[in-house]
Chain A
Amino acid sequence: MSKTKIDRTPLSGAESVAQAMRQINPEVVAAYPITPQTGIMHAFTAFVNDGDVDTEMIRVESEHSAMSATLGASAAGVRAITATSSNGLALMHEIVYIAASTRLPIVMPVVNRALSGPINIHCDHSDTMAERDSGWVQIYCENNQEAYEMTLLAIRLAEHKDILLPVMVCQDGFITSHGVEGVKLYKDSIVKKFLGKYKPKHPLLDTKNPITIGPLDFYDYYFEHKRQQSEAIHNVRKVFPKLVKEFKKISGKDYGFIESYMMDDAKEAIVVMSSSAGTTKEVVDRLRKEGRKVGMVKIRMFRPFPISEIKEVLKGVDIVAVLDRVESFGAVGGPLFNEIRSSLYDYNNKPKIVNYVFGLGGRSYTPELGRQVFDEISKDKNSKDYEHNLVRYLVVRN
């Protein structure tokens, strides 16, 4: 056996993000505990207290204040980060919207956890999906490596002059946040160079040029400001690929808005987000060995929504199963399902499409369940009345 040098560090998803934060070395970090986010701030504050970074911590009394203080620091003109999960994000909700409308480049790692009630600490996407219209860029990570790299990319994306918007970098609670994998960390000096220095255009601390942030904005201007905000988030479509190209020199990776797996000739496909994409790839591999033309699409960026990529990749597919790790009460299907379904509207030969709500409150998504989905949709392909069973629940008791 030849000895190869191991260049990977065993890290949990939470620790991977903390490593990214160490390299970012933000001026201000606000922290408030909530499981499973705590792993990030435990690791990061250890860096602070050991002098590995020179960040000023604000150990706040609530997530509402965490986001408020982060907003204040960012408006002052420095890099500012906070992180949260679930009820913490829900408590921030009011300020999450204000952060986006104030056009502040805050980066917030979010460890996805089911919203109460009932209270639960495990993974689903109900927390971040409730913020999908808040004006934040939302990136969903499959594994620890991606969580590390997306946190770094998020800084550049948020601060880009054509964007100036906050970014959520989401990873699955426990599955990713507490699962340890070998993570390739890039050299501090290289990462620092990539991140560059933050030069705010209108910092509040510029007392020579006083500005008013957060004025009262009525019907005569509010609408235009919302429209500008909308244009800014769509600019991510242009900017993200450029940043990925630049980052590729470090990572060697081509990160798209989506990732397609075995989709070139696929007739049946699963669309899914975050850690479940890894599981689904395994299922696709197994079924491919059996000669089945299956594939998977992972949505990496949910906001802005990658409509053109979706249209392109699902062309020629017979049937699509969209997996939502959240229930959208009273709607027909989950948020991802509705986005994908509406993306396909313009096709003449639309693929059939069904929705699976799965994994709520941390219920496992296993390769067996992935296979079950493929088996069911391959039957639905030839059925006329599959639409009567449009939205399904992946193993739930009645």
Chain B
Amino acid sequence: MVDTKEIKIKNLKELSKQKERLAPGHRMCPGCGAAIIARMIMHSTENEIVVANATGCLEVSTTIYPYTSWRVPWIHNAFENAAATLSGVETAFRSLKKKNKTKKDIKFLAFGGDGGTYDIGLQSLSAALERGHDFVYVCYDNEAYMNTGIQRSSATPYGASTKTDPAGKVRPGKLEFKKDLMEVVAGHGIPYLAQASPHNWADLMKKAKKAFETPGPAFLLVLSPCIPGWGMPNNKTIEIAKLAVDTNFWPLYEIEKGKYTLNYDPKDKAKPIIEWLKSQNRFKHLLLPKNSSMIQTIQDHADKKMNYLRMRANEK
């Protein structure tokens, strides 16, 4: 196992010369995390790639016919089946390889939102992981169904206000905790999975590179700030992503062949969770005195998860 920190990636100057695989001019919101994540991940390999995209913001905003922003082969089938679709593409490639009908070395990449991954696409993802297809599945997690107008998903965090679970007089938004998808995916015993954030581009790109180079399925869960969905300024994407990590809301870690590694631990420099909550309108109501206990609940939840990860990372 190679330490992810040691993985060589290009420096920013070199990267700026690398050809963009997602062309500018797409219709993603200014400041959208997903577009940044997609570009960085595709920049992290120089191999030829083929992309499958689940229905969602990234898909609709980059392929408005007759235009496309994708300079690599790209396929969208439906919402819940990016993993199954890419299974078919990858299997076709494997068959051609077996018959000596292609000499190429193509990497296969799927992008799905949280709705398309945690919820409606979980079955198709789970089965593709179990079958062991050689691909990288990236979930850009903006913590709600954004393309359809900010509805709650199982990735929406406790306390957040969405259009299907708004902060109201008797119910203060979502009261269930976010599904721990990393643990769900880890349960499949796949060789590599990692959680990352776009603010730490080197960490994200190293993980992506590792994922591409891992034979068999690899999974990346990347936090993707959403300007309208989170209620935040469009020039704060990277700052807010960083805050998620600094408050332990979104730890950076990876699981390689079952071994946990915590890539960053702010330890006693961790900022209180309230700073994360204060940065976005979707949590605004939590600052009301009547909801103050919810903030403690969120803090406890984050602490518990971080302690769990520290414990796992210390396993020999």
Contact = CB atoms under 8 A, between A and B. Distances in A.
A310 to B, nearest CB: 36
Interface residues of B, number: 46
A61 B126 contact: yes
Given A56-B91, A61-B126, A94-B78, A68 B85 contact: yes
A2 interface: no
B72 interface: yes
Nearest to B64: A216
A207 B104 contact: yes
A56 B94 contact: yes
Most buried by B among A72, A204, A210, A217: A72
Nearest to B133: A58
Contact of B77 (A58, A76, A214): A214
A213 B75 contact: yes
Given A70-B88, A76-B92, A205 B65 contact: no
A64 B71 CA distance: 29
Contact of B95 (A56, A206, A213): A56
Given A218-B65, A221-B65, A204 B73 contact: yes
Contacts of B123: 61-62, 65
Given A64-B84, A98-B78, A216-B64, A80 B124 contact: no
B63 to A, nearest CB: 4
B81 A95 contact: yes
Given A64-B81, A65-B84, A69-B87, A213 B76 contact: yes
Contacts of A213: 74-76
Interface string A372-389: 000000000000000000
Interface residues of A, number: 43
Given A56-B94, A95-B78, A210-B74, A80 B50 contact: no
A55 B88 CA distance: 12
Most B Cβ at <10 Å: residue of A27, A74, A218 = A27
Contacts of A72: 52, 75, 77, 84-92
Contacts of B78: 68, 94-95, 98
Shortest 4 CB-CB contacts between residues of A and residues of B? A72-B88, A76-B92, A61-B127, A69-B88
Interface of B: 48-50, 52, 59-60, 63-66, 68, 70-78, 80-81, 84-96, 98-99, 102, 104, 106, 123-124, 126-127, 130-131
Interface of A: 27-28, 30, 54-56, 58-62, 64-65, 68-78, 80, 94-95, 98, 102, 204-207, 210-218, 221
Given A27-B92, A62-B127, 10 more contacts: A58-B91, A60-B127, A65-B123, A68-B78, A78-B95, A102-B77, A205-B73, A205-B96, A207-B106, A216-B64
15 contacts: A56-B94, A56-B95, A58-B91, A59-B131, A64-B80, A65-B127, A75-B89, A78-B96, A94-B78, A205-B102, A207-B50, A210-B70, A210-B73, A211-B73, A214-B77
